[in-house]
A and B are shown apart, each in its own frame.
Chain A
Amino acid sequence: MGGVEDDEPPSKRVKASSRELRGLSNGECLKEPSSCSFSACASMARPLALQGDDEVIGSKGVKKVEFVRIIAEALYSLGYSKTGAYLEEESGIPFHSSVVTVFIQQILDGSWDESLASLHKIGIVDETIIKLACFIILQQKFFELLDGEKVMDALKTLRTEIAPLSINNIRVRELSSLILSPSHRVTDGISGQEMVKSKPRSELLEDLQKLFPPTVMIPEKRLLQLVEQALDLQHDTCLFHNSLVGETSLLTDHRCGRDKIPSETVQILPDHHNEVWYLQYSKNGKYLASSSSDHSAIIWEVNLEGRVSLKHRLIGHQKPVSCVSWSPDDDQILTCGVEEVIRRWDISSGECLQVYEKGLIGSISCSWSPDGKWIFSGMTDKSIMMWDLDGKEMDCLKGQKTLRISDLQTTSDGKLITICKENMIVILDRESGAERCIKEDQTIVSFTLSGDNKFLLVSIVNEELHLWSIQGNIRLVSKYRGHRRSRFIVRACFGGFQQAFIASGSEDSQIYIWHRGSGELIETLGGHSGAVNCVSWNPANPHMLASASDDRTIRIWGLNHVETKSNSCIHHCNGAN
């Protein structure tokens, strides 16, 4: 705003004098109103204008001039141009400097030469920006001439105005080709995909606005952008934000209550005969699979009301079943007997379709390939086996690839993740042989892969959970503390709306829930009478949690109010959304 007005003394004087009059009415000006001549106003004008520019509102240094300008922009965006104009007048703060207003009109009118002249008067310091702006304005002129079949004029513009700018020779080349066959512009043969016809002038204006520094032309919808940023911030700091339900209001800060986190036992499933070691929901949230030291696994069905019932008991293992693994399309499951065999089961029939073994070497973990065609398993001899679905051995990664007790996960792009040394997890690309590692200071107990494959939650012997980002640069993101784990494997999981929470079992029989972003412990759920070995949050229902315990039961947790049976539950239980 400031210096630009230098070219426009008359209007400035007018505005300044209105400010000055206000100043006068506040007793700031010493001269008498009647003797305030034109020249006196002029000499007063500059200082007052500067004072206006620096004025701040609120307590965070928000400049009044900027604030009013973005409000004006919001009004114009909403279509209230009369109000916008009135705001400019009443506040005395122009939305755009007058040069810019003239410039904008010239662009919309297609007065290209005049607009180029105005461009140089706007006061942009960066030469590159001015050149780029000239280029796109002249390009528009070129296209409009071609559209109007004025080929020779377009050629003249290209030769005399565009090419001499000496920027973007590749584009100049493309434009030349367009001259050759304007009627063929739509095909790919001559030019690239973009810009084969002149775009609307309003779009040109948008391009220019993005190019210019924001003080020259206010970015479109800037106020809305700021409001949305504030909303994001509120959501991020809301520790209990766990549903889509509920509107976003600008009138009050967003704050969820604890009532959206599952914290009440809604079902106890006593069907296992011994300690329940592992459980996991299918990706579609319609099934739950659990495994136990009673040598069996159970498939549970989750009905539309969120009620869980036993569907199949999977009998066949001769040893405790340490873990289960859902197939990529949730129609089959792998179970792993401790240092025993892997079994593949069909979900709908409950039948065991295949057994995978390798002589006397037992399996300790199991996982699917992302296309569901191969089975991976960590073995007691620390290698990793790969079978096809029929049990034929396809590959064996020898050497110390895994430990005697370790998890195995596969990412959606086919990489294998496993604990290869006491304090190291390896992410192995089987095809290229490339390995990336997560190195911890202390012994790693177990880990969980996030649903989006971007994060790894690692459980450490010192009772901490470490969240690692594994996409791009491997780095530690946060730590979570509070739960108890000293003797056994206790597992954690991601869950809730947008995976905003971390839940973990604990040897003190409780479930711990943290807000992922802030690391704050927000809930501890009591109820089990034995160590909670594993938890799983329903991926399709942010209000449903399952836990597996040494007390031989599985507990299903839901929201803590009676309205659980209402419409909202039916809406999103069982992944029906």
Chain B
Amino acid sequence: MDVDPRQYENITINDNDSHNIVLSYLIHGCFKDTVESLVDSTGLKVPASQLEDMEKRKRISHFALEGNALDAIALTEQVSPDLLENNKDLLFDLLSLHFVELICSRKCTEALEFAQAKLTPFGKVQKYVEKLEDFMALLAYEEPEKSPMFHLLSFEYRQHVADSLNRAILAHANLPSYSALERLIRQATVVRQCLSEELGKDVQSAFSLKEFLKS
């Protein structure tokens, strides 16, 4: 290839492409208002069905983030039927969110009954056993926040589950599960790292996105 990787500044970029990249990120993350704003400013066209789907995914994610796993599951079933059937890991994660909710509201009896009804069947499969034990351990503590498993109650954990669910829904609809923006950044990182290794610079100067954005 003729183009020297170091002369990347010579490449022209289409405005439309930039906008689409940003748009893909926003749609992926369900930022509805921002999407509408961008569409107005740039004149890009987004199909209505895509906007509707985004709206649904947004609601699902919010349910998950709030810990309202049951509604999240119900809506997911509507949007992507069979998704959870075929993705037991995700189903388990969602059900466990509900369990955690019950624990946090100190509804121990309900939590136990729910676990016995919905979570026990997972225990028959070896790979879920340890996860199940992690969650069950929460039952033993009057203050689950102080137990060794406190991370299961955290916002970060719920976000992680919501994120996985979001990606799974997109994948189910045959859409990319990672936005264009994310993919581009990953590729750029890899390319930069290869280049710096090839040029013989020491590995310490591996590509850091943070540094790049500051410079």
Contact = CB atoms under 8 A, between A and B. Distances in A.
A189 B137 contact: no
A462 interface: no
B136 A179 contact: yes
A177 B133 contact: yes
A151 B136 contact: no
Interface in A137-172: 151-152, 155, 158-160, 162-164, 169, 172
Interface of B: 108-109, 112, 115-116, 119-120, 123-124, 126, 129, 132-134, 136-142, 147-148
A151 B142 contact: no
Contacts of A358: none
A152 B133 contact: no
B123 A159 contact: no
B112 A179 contact: yes
B116 A155 contact: no
Contacts of A173: 133-134, 136-137, 140, 148
A117 B139 CA distance: 26
A477 to B, nearest CB: 48
A190 interface: yes
Contact of B112 (A155, A160, A189): A155
A163 B132 CA distance: 18
A177 B116 CA distance: 10
A176 interface: yes
Q: Which applies to chain A's interface (DSSP): helix, strand, loop or mixed?
A: helix
A181 B117 CA distance: 10
A164 B109 CA distance: 20
Interface string A174-194: 111101110010000110000
A152 B108 CA distance: 9
Given A189-B129, A190-B123, A180 B140 contact: no
B129 A159 contact: no
A94 to B, nearest CB: 40
Contact of A189 (B108, B123, B140, B148): B123
B124 A189 contact: yes
A139 to B, nearest CB: 12
Given A155-B108, A164-B142, 9 more contacts: A159-B142, A163-B140, A163-B147, A169-B137, A169-B148, A176-B137, A180-B119, A180-B120, A180-B136
A159 B139 contact: yes
Contact of B140 (A151, A162, A184, A190): A162
B137 A181 contact: no
A155 B141 CA distance: 10
B25 to A, nearest CB: 41
A12 B129 CA distance: 57
